[in-house]
């Protein structure tokens, strides 16, 4: 028993789920991985090649070829839709339930009163028949326009004009008003209120700032996801943490997963995320490590294939460095949480199966098949450390011995 490492390439799906025709027809034909390679014929990812990416897709991906020694498969999504928050809860062992959904306008009056009571200057801003809140002339409070409708409230900020701690305070206040899965407090530098307002969108009674279009992702991006209705006691980080096993969550995983007994390191930039993961692996001879590479997902939202390719190359190099550090007994899992196909014609997540690539020194040529849920990874981690299983998932550790 040593180290169990999970790297989540956020939004890097490998083909539509079987139920897409019924539940998400807008994602018909989605295949993030294949379409990126089709548009980028010179793309070569040597680490992911070694881990079996081409084996999973069933065909060569340009220069990235199949490898007979790979240990790999793919996993289905059990959660509704295609959501980062619920995807990560599922990875950690939660049995995902149907999420609550509502428009922010249901809480507009009480949000205005609560924020005013706490010393913020509030005004409403209308776009057509819908309105959002402007806080201190540098923050908007509205619906999330990138994820599935009604699943999140966004606190979008120009953090040159307000401290991020204040943005997070606004988010925590709004969190008390709604049962939607996420209230997301985030912002970036180099933008101000006019850029936020210029990126406002309305659709089907929802109103919000299109985050990629606003520019908040472009410079010094800060983000914290405030979740609702998830029991951390049935998840791997809490199970392992209570048992005294070191737990480290990095990148977006640190934002969206409870880790009361471990260490969480929020970070966005891909090379930095994986470098910090490597540092922790070198420092700790045992533990559970989960790092989310968020920039792949952000590039999908932007529908920017060129940037997606750049991030994949950086991720491939970072994972390669981690691979070299692993020793006898360590396990590495590289996967995703959903798709985000930049070619599909919309800027939202896509409901896709995800790759499941595993490395353990000396282990070769194993087909992990199609797993029924992302929670199989969490169950395998718990099994690896000899702890109680989370509430969902089946361990595949027996295949890795």
User: What span, in angstroms and rounded, lies between the C-alpha atoms of 321 and 42?
Assistant: 22
User: Two tokens at 206?
Assistant: 């929802």
Residue 123 sits in the same domain as residue 80: no
323: domain CATH number is: 3.40.720.10
Could you give the CA distance from residue 220 to residue 186 in angstroms, rounded to a whole number? Answer: 10
Torsion sign, CA atoms 109, 182, 100, 211: positive
Greatest Cα pair distance, the chain, in angstroms, is: 63
Burial class of residue 121 in the structure, from the number of CB atoms within 10 Å of its CB (0-12 exposed, 13-18 middle, 19+ buried): exposed
Task: State residue 311's pLDDT score.
Answer: 98
Domain containing 290: what range? 3-99+230-400
pLDDT in tens for each of the 401 residues of the chain? Answer: 699 999 999 999 999 999 999 999 999 999 999 999 999 999 999 999 999 999 999 988 888 999 999 999 999 999 988 988 899 999 999 998 887 889 999 999 999 999 999 999 999 999 999 999 999 999 999 999 988 889 899 999 999 999 999 999 999 999 999 999 889 999 999 999 999 999 999 999 999 999 989 999 889 988 888 888 789 999 999 999 999 999 999 999 998 899 999 999 988 899 999 999 999 999 999 999 999 999 999 999 989 999 999 999 999 999 999 999 999 999 999 999 999 999 999 988 999 999 999 999 999 999 999 999 999 999 999 999 999 999 999 999 999 98
Q: Are residues 357 and 387 in the same domain?
A: yes
Same domain, 237 and 374: yes
Point out the domain boundary residue: 199, 227, 255. Answer: 227
For residues 124 and 108, give the distance between their C-alpha atoms in angstroms, rounded to a whole number. 9
The one-character DSSP state at 339 is: B
54 and 178 both lie in a single domain? no
Strands 71-75 and 366-371: parallel
Last residue of a domain, one of 227, 258, 291: 227
Bridge partners (DSSP) of residue 132 are: 125
Same domain, 333 and 369: yes
Partnered with residue 291 across adjacent β-strands are 7, 250
Rg for the chain (alpha carbons), in Å? 20
> What pLDDT sits at residue 286?
97
Identify whether residues 260 and 283 lie together within a single domain: yes
Q: Are residues 67 and 147 in the same domain?
A: no
Between 295-302 and 305-325, two packed helices, what is the crossing angle to 10 degrees? 170
Give me the pLDDT at residue 1, please: 62
Cβ-proximal residues to 121 (8 Å cutoff; 6+ apart), any chain: 135, 136, 137
Residues 217 and 321 placed together within one structural domain of the fold: no
- Residues 270, 354 within the same domain: yes
Q: What's the pTM?
A: 0.86
Element containing residue 24 per DSSP (H, E): none
- Contact at 8 Å (CB) between 87 and 338? yes
Residues 243 and 389 in one domain: yes
Choose one of 227, 254, 285: the last residue of a domain: 227
Query: For the chain, what is the domain count?
Result: 2
Q: Are residues 165 and 289 in the same domain?
A: no
At residue 369, what are phi and psi to the nearest 5 degrees?
Answer: 70, -160
- Answer yes or no: do 249 and 382 share one domain: yes
Mutual angle of helices 375-384 and 84-91, in 10-degree steps: 30
Nearest to 234 by CA among 82, 83, 91: 91
pLDDT at residue 224, as a whole number: 85
């Amino acid at each position: 028993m040593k180290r169990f490492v999970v790297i989540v390439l956020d939004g890097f799906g490998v083909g539509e789920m079987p139920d897409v025709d019924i539940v998400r027809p807008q994602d018909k034909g989605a295949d993030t991985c294949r379409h990126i390679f089709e548009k980028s014929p010179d793309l070569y990812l040597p680490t992911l090649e070694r881990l079996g990416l081409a084996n999973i897709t069933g065909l060569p991906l340009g220069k990235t070829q199949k490898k007979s020694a790979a240990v790999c498969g793919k996993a289905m999504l059990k959660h509704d839709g295609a959501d980062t928050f619920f995807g990560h809860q599922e990875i950690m062992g939660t049995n995902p339930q149907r999420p609550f959904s509502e428009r922010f306008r249901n809480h507009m009056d009480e949000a205005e009163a609560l924020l005013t009571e706490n010393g913020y200057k509030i005004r409403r801003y209308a776009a057509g028949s819908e309105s959002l809140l402007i806080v201190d002339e540098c923050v908007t409070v509205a619906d999330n326009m990138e994820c599935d409708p009604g699943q999140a409230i966004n606190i979008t900020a120009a953090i040159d004009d307000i401290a991020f701690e204040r943005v997070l305070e606004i988010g925590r206040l709004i969190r008390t008003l709604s049962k939607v899965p996420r209230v997301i407090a985030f912002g970036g530098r180099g933008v101000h209120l006019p850029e936020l307002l210029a990126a406002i969108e309305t659709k089907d009674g929802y109103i919000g700032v299109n985050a990629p279009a606003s520019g908040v992702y472009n410079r010094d991006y800060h983000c914290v996801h405030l979740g609702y209705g998830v029991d951390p006691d049935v998840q791997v980080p809490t199970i392992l943490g209570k048992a005294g096993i070191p737990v480290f969550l990095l990148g977006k995983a640190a934002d969206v997963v409870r880790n009361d007994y471990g260490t969480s390191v929020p970070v966005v930039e891909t090379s930095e995320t994986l470098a910090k993961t490597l540092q922790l692996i070198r420092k700790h001879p045992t533990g559970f490590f989960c790092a989310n590479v968020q920039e792949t997902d952000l590039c999908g939202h932007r529908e920017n294939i060129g940037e997606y390719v750049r991030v994949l190359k950086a991720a491939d190099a970072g994972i390669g460095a981690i691979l070299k550090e692993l020793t006898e007994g360590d396990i590495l899992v590289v996967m995703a949480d959903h798709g985000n196909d930049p070619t599909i014609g919309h800027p939202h997540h896509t409901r896709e199966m995800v790759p499941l690539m595993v490395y353990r020194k000396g282990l070769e040529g194993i087909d992990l098949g199609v797993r029924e849920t992302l929670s199989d990874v969490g169950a395998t981690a718990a099994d690896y450390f000899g702890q109680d299983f989370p509430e969902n998932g089946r361990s595949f550790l027996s295949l890795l011995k």
